[in-house]
Structure 1
Amino acid sequence: MEAQAVLRPAGHRALVWRERPATAGAAVLVLHGGQENGLRGPGTPNLPGQRMRPFARAVERVTAGREVAVGVVRYRCRGWNGDRADAARDAAAALQELAEELGPVPTVLVGHSMGGRAALAAGGHPCVAGVVALAPWCPAGEPYAHLGGRRVVVLHGDRDRVTAPDDTVRFAALARSAGARTAGYLVAGSGHAMLRRATAWHRATAALTAGLLGLRGLPEDVSAALALDGPGPEGLRLPL
């Protein structure tokens, strides 16, 4: 979804900053989950949004002092809503707002569930240097060609009963066939809410985000997987 094609509803700001250095040279956007359908705004309290706060804090800790802006994407609707793809449109709008405010700084998208789907859908934006998708919703037929040239790391719990780990592996392999650099962790003993082994999820996400921004080295197994070519599943079931 190209930035110039985004239509922003009057009065809606999709980007909300958590950390905004005066001179930011990079950025991270966090996207929470939602549901398949729902035209109302996110609930109060916004439980999917609250679940992503520890991830945002972990990213802020690992990027502290490095001139990295950290923001969250604010959805108009709580659902994806079929062809409307509302969350993806909001992600694209937030990226457009980011580019207008900071310039074309390298940006990593961190999204969970529906937010992972939105992050992957918006991953072709010129600012996006990489995507970290957590238990993403990857239905059959989802576009992937726009991720060519991007680095994409997916993490999925092996006990997830909401979104399927096999769908994530299939999508990542297809994206690799289109030129994306992909790697994937299978988180043993964890489900969709990422509550079991939560600390491992938070730490891994922060480390991967910093690595994709070039602030630190990526783990060797991830670097090896990102270097692979072709559509196969190699490097997409790394143990975490």
Structure 2
Amino acid sequence: MAQQALPVREARLGKPLGTAGKEGTREALRWRSGSGRGTGREVSGVALLLPGGGPTGVRRPSPVAALAVRPLAVRLAKAGRPEGLTAHVVRYRCSGWNGPDAHPARDATWALDEVVRRYGDVPVCLVGTGMGARAALHAAGHPAVNSVLALAPWLPGPGQDSEPDPVKQLVGRQVLLVHGTNDERTDPDLSYRYAERAKKINRDTCRFEVHSDGHSLHQHRAEVLALAADFMLGSLFARGYSRPVKDALAAPPPLGLRMPLATGFGASLRH
């Protein structure tokens, strides 16, 4: 199948949240009083947020998709500010995945190159929702990627693609998938199968199930946000994971891939 031509436009990074404040150049990220990891005075890690989308579509995405992940970006930026984290939301060129063109995955790779250009050699956590989660998993092989957080990932089912999505690019990365058991838009069983294949070649893979929750994970929003922050901080800054994440990473399938997200997870971190 020939690649689908797009109107001339570029992917973009949204404004930085966190350490970088309102300024985006590397020179502006260092305070006159000095710099150093953990002081919040320079960027020492990046969370790159990849919004959701649809299977097809070459029009520019609606702003709603980026706005939907902004609360998560703000939460991660706040949690990582003491460590020197900044967060960006990626603005895709188009709204759809578009089959083998995989436009959002390509935009994610461009965004990673842009992060390296702006901030240098800093670790990146790719954080995606829905279609964006699939893009994050695809782009994980980029040298800047340290970890991947895939929320309610949209993954192809049997017969939808000629081959299953690759997992080799996940080797050497910390990987967490999160899925609501009542998700009617993206199949939780498909994310389990993907995680099962990934776990075989990358032991640092785990998956949490949010029981009775749907695609947007709104019912247990506080717990999901806390889990995301815990994973990001642990993977980028070696702060240590919470006990449930440690257990999930250490447990063999299926236990480590069907870890229930407990009600009240991270409550002490929200005060």
> What secondary structure sits across from 1:52 in the alignment?
helix
Q: 1:42 aligns with which of 61, 76, 98?
A: 61
Pair 15,159 (structure 1): closer, same or farther in 2 beyond 3 Å: same
For 1:196 and 1:226, locate their aligned partners in 2 and report how far apart those are by CA, in whole Å: 25
> What secondary structure sits across from 2:16 in the alignment?
strand
Contact 1:88–1:119 (Cα < 8 Å) also in 2: yes
For 1:65 and 1:219, locate their aligned partners in 2 and report how far apart those are by CA, in whole Å: 18
Contact 1:17–1:69 (Cα < 8 Å) also in 2: no
> What secondary structure sits across from 1:152 in the alignment?
strand
Please state if 1:195 is matched with 2:212. Answer: no
Residue 72 of structure 1 and its aligned partner are, at CA, apart by: 1.2
Contact 1:36–1:80 (Cα < 8 Å) also in 2: yes
The AA in structure 2 aligned to 1:39 is V
TM-score by length of 1: 0.89
Contact 1:147–1:180 (Cα < 8 Å) also in 2: no
Pair 62,73 (structure 1): closer, same or farther in 2 beyond 3 Å: same
Contact 1:14–1:91 (Cα < 8 Å) also in 2: no
Q: Report % sequence identity.
A: 38
Q: 1:179 aligns with which of 179, 194, 202?
A: 202
For 1:183 and 1:117, locate their aligned partners in 2 and report how far apart those are by CA, in whole Å: 16
Alignment partner, residue 4 of structure 1: none
> Greater shift after overlay, 93-102 or 60-69?
60-69
> What secondary structure sits across from 2:15 in the alignment?
strand
TM-score by length of 2: 0.79
Residue 10 of structure 1 and its aligned partner are, at CA, apart by: 6.9
1:98-142 residue CA offsets vs partner (Å, 9 max, x unmatched): 111111211101100000000000111111110111000122411
Alignment partner, residue 235 of structure 2: 212
> What secondary structure sits across from 2:255 in the alignment?
coil
Please state if 1:54 is matched with 2:71. Answer: yes
Spell out the pairing of 1:1-240 with structure 2 (5 A cutoff). 12-19=10-17, 21=20, 22=29, 23-43=42-62, 46-140=63-157, 141-214=164-237, 216-227=239-250, 232-240=253-261
Whichever of the two has the greater Rg, that structure is 2
Residue 172 of structure 1 and its aligned partner are, at CA, apart by: 0.9
> What secondary structure sits across from 2:83 in the alignment?
coil
The AA in structure 2 aligned to 1:41 is R
Structure 1 unaligned segments of length 5 or more: list them.
Answer: 1-8
Contact 1:17–1:72 (Cα < 8 Å) also in 2: yes
1:213-238 residue CA offsets vs partner (Å, 9 max, x unmatched): 12532122322332456xx3330111
For 2:122 and 2:54, locate their aligned partners in 1 and report how far apart those are by CA, in whole Å: 30
1:143-202 residue CA offsets vs partner (Å, 9 max, x unmatched): 111111111001100110111111111101111212251111101121002222222222
For 2:212 and 2:65, locate their aligned partners in 1 and report how far apart those are by CA, in whole Å: 21
Contact 2:83–2:237 (Cα < 8 Å) also in 1: no
Residue 17 of structure 1 and its aligned partner are, at CA, apart by: 3.3
For 1:25 and 1:219, locate their aligned partners in 2 and report how far apart those are by CA, in whole Å: 22
The AA in structure 1 aligned to 2:155 is C
The AA in structure 1 aligned to 2:123 is P
Count matched residues: 228
The AA in structure 1 aligned to 2:186 is T
> What secondary structure sits across from 1:149 in the alignment?
coil
The AA in structure 2 aligned to 1:30 is L
Alignment partner, residue 269 of structure 2: none
Structure 2 unaligned segments of length 5 or more: list them.
Answer: 1-6, 21-28, 30-41, 158-163, 262-271
> Greater shift after overlay, 86-95 or 57-66?
57-66
Pair 225,199 (structure 1): closer, same or farther in 2 beyond 3 Å: closer
Let me know the Cα RMSD of the aligned residues.
Answer: 1.8
